Structure 1
Amino acid sequence: MQRITHPALQRLLLLSTIVALWGSLSLSAQSITAARINEVMIDNVDNYIDNYGKRSPWIEIYNSSAGTINLAGCFLTDDPQYLKKYMIPKGDVLTVIKPRQSIVFFADEMPMRGTFHLNFSLAPDTTHYLALVSNDGSTIIDEVEVPASLPANHSYARIDDGVRTVVATEAWHVTEHTTPGSNNVVKDKNEKIDRLQEADPNGFVMTITAMLVVFSGLLILFLAYKLVGIVAMRIEGRNESLRGRLHNRLEKRLENQPDQEPTELASTTEDPLVPVAISLALTSEIEMGGGEAPGQLTIRPRTQVYQPWSDKSQMMRPTVTCRQLKK
């Protein structure tokens, strides 16, 4: 196996780092394209108020994707010739927009007030060009032209949040119901439910459908348990039949075997101490006078009651010599 030298390992790590950074930048560039200029108010007389209690024109940016995007490093401008007019600061966690959410920037020429205060303003009765530019300073993510005839306290908003059309003006409309930081259209109705209500105003079809679903579920459960029971009974029957066959075969083998005389069973133990113990016991009994008959070993039950864990009689048992002296 070829040995990897230290410089080769460094080059490999550097190449992996570059690939990882390039991949992360590509994913970031792809996700930021989902940002949309979603709603704009020019003449804010008595509408939305910022954190300083001031009313000023505002621009809403909407995330139309299913992933989180970060506007840090991107640009907002009202001049098509100067795309880098206001850079959204980096390092502010509030520039991260969650899916289907939005944030608001105030065009008050007060960038010192924070991230969401632009360095340009929007004057009433004037057509305004607005653009959201990528962090490269040249790629336009989204742009819109706000008409000059926008009434006070009215906004120029997309009909559907973040939706583009072939003709740009068809996706926008002037609305008195402004929604800064919120969805432009709040859907409080469900088309499917409305159609079902029209087709079945009394709920009769819905009731029958619910009953059919419940009874169908019960029927499926009954059939499943029934099937499991049948399978279990068949398995038990097969086991009983197998046991019966084995029993019959064993009986036939026993009937066919001839009668044999009983033979002495040999000791199967392999412990060499067993015959030694038996020899010592026989020798001891012979020296003590034998048993009830010559050459027989007589075993009598003990008459003395003792506790096995403190049996002194076993420890102080008289030997053969002591018994002979006593006689």
Structure 2
Amino acid sequence: MQRVTLPALQRLLLLSTIAVLWSLLPLSAQSITAARINEVMIDNVDNYIDNYGKRSPWIEIYNSSAGTIDLAGCFLTDDPQDLKKYMIPKGDVLTAIKPRQSVVFFADEMPLRGTFHLNFTLAPNTSYYLALVSGDGTSIIDEVEIPAAIPANHSYARIDDGVRTAVATEAWHITQHTTPGSNNVVKDKNEKIDRLQEADPNGFVMTITAMLVVFSGLLILFLAYKLVGIVAMRLEGRKENLHSRLHKESTESASTTEDPLVAVAISLALTTELEMGGGEAPGRLTIRPRTLPYTPWSDKSQMMRPTVACRQLKK
């Protein structure tokens, strides 16, 4: 069986990462299919105004995906026979729509005013077909039929932002609460909280849950500090052991010598003193620091010093 080395595994991991990143590129290019025509106003009497201070019909495009999409190069049209009626210009950073966000196009027949001003308009009391077409000019991303009976300052909007249904008309409704550039539905309630409130009207479960969270946090903090203390004590103990070991070794090294001549000299001196019974008191050996400017071990008088045996013969 062939053995796999570490460099081979590293190369395999690098190639796998490149392959995954490469495979994600087409997905980011296809995310434009998440764009939706989300809200349309036909008769704008005293509603939303553009950056020129004018009121005109407008179309809101919504990004229903979790990634940023770019409408640059796509088409907007009100004619099923001409899917390339208005091409959204490229090079405008504002055509990039962030997740769950939207942009507004003004149908004022004034495309020279900027990217978000269309080359067609919408007249009141008239039904319309609107479509958002991909950059190839043939693939329809989203489309909607706008009814004619829409009152002034009302919009034709999706009930839920970007949501499609089996029957297209069931996903749309006429509303006076217009939200250009914003979500059609502002959710001011939390379904989970509402269900919890119904199941626990007195708040007993919420209280117990809060107490458990607090005590769990305190327990985790206690265990963390305990662990830190144990580690700190062990490190301090190791530090003290190392310090005592170094001190012991330095003491032993100070009490011993590596020079054999010095050891021999000390041994001879001790032997001589013991044989001669020297010292300030019987049985006590006194060593004093030398005061002579030379080494007495090489002195001739010390070399010819009579021993105890010689003294006995003289007697």
Which TM-score bucket, shorter chain as reference? 0.5 to 0.7
Matched, 1:301 2:287: yes
Structure 2 counterpart of 1:143, which letter?
A: E
Cα distance, 1:277 vs structure 2: 4.0
What SS does structure 2 have at the residue aligned with 1:293?
Answer: helix
Aligned to 1:54: 54
Cα distance, 1:169 vs structure 2: 1.1
State the Cα deviation string for residues 234-259 of structure 1 (Å, max 9, x = none).
xxxxxxxxxxxxxxxxxxxxxxxxxx
Q: 1:293 to 1:198 in 2, by over 3 A?
A: closer
- Taking structure 1 as the reference length, the TM-score comes to 0.63
Query: 5+ residue gaps in structure 1?
Result: 1-16, 229-268, 305-312
Cα distance, 1:281 vs structure 2: 6.2
| Inter-partner Cα distance in structure 1 for 2:300 and 2:55 | 124
- Give runs of aligned pairs for residues 160-239 of structure 1, distance below 5 A: 160-201=160-201, 203=202, 206-207=203-204, 210-211=207-208, 214=211
Cα distance, 1:321 vs structure 2: 4.2
Aligned to 2:63: 63
- Taking structure 2 as the reference length, the TM-score comes to 0.66
Q: 1:302 to 1:186 in 2, by over 3 A?
A: same
| Inter-partner Cα distance in structure 2 for 1:152 and 1:96 | 30
Query: 5+ residue gaps in structure 2?
Result: 1-17, 227-255, 303-315
Q: 1:195 to 1:121 in 2, by over 3 A?
A: same
- Give runs of aligned pairs for residues 271-290 of structure 1, distance below 5 A: 273-274=259-260, 276-279=261-264
Aligned to 1:36: 36
Q: Is the contact made by 2:61 and 2:102 (CA closer than 8 Å) also made in structure 1?
A: yes
State the Cα deviation string for residues 213-252 of structure 1 (Å, max 9, x = none).
7369869969x99xx9xxxxxxxxxxxxxxxxxxxxxxxx
Cα distance, 1:154 vs structure 2: 1.0
Matched, 1:317 2:297: no
Q: 1:174 to 1:208 in 2, by over 3 A?
A: closer
| Inter-partner Cα distance in structure 2 for 1:129 and 1:216 | 55
**What RMSD in Å do the two structures reach over aligned CA positions?**
3.9
State the Cα deviation string for residues 29-70 of structure 1 (Å, max 9, x = none).
421111000000111111100111011110000011112111
What SS does structure 2 have at the residue aligned with 1:33?
Answer: helix
Q: 1:277 to 1:176 in 2, by over 3 A?
A: closer
Q: Is the contact made by 2:278 and 2:285 (CA closer than 8 Å) also made in structure 1?
A: no
Cα distance, 1:115 vs structure 2: 1.0
Aligned to 1:137: 137
Matched, 1:112 2:89: no
| Inter-partner Cα distance in structure 1 for 2:209 and 2:125 | 64
Aligned length: 246
| Inter-partner Cα distance in structure 1 for 2:175 and 2:118 | 24
State the Cα deviation string for residues 164-195 of structure 1 (Å, max 9, x = none).
11111111111111100011111112233334
Structure 1 counterpart of 2:176, which letter?
A: E
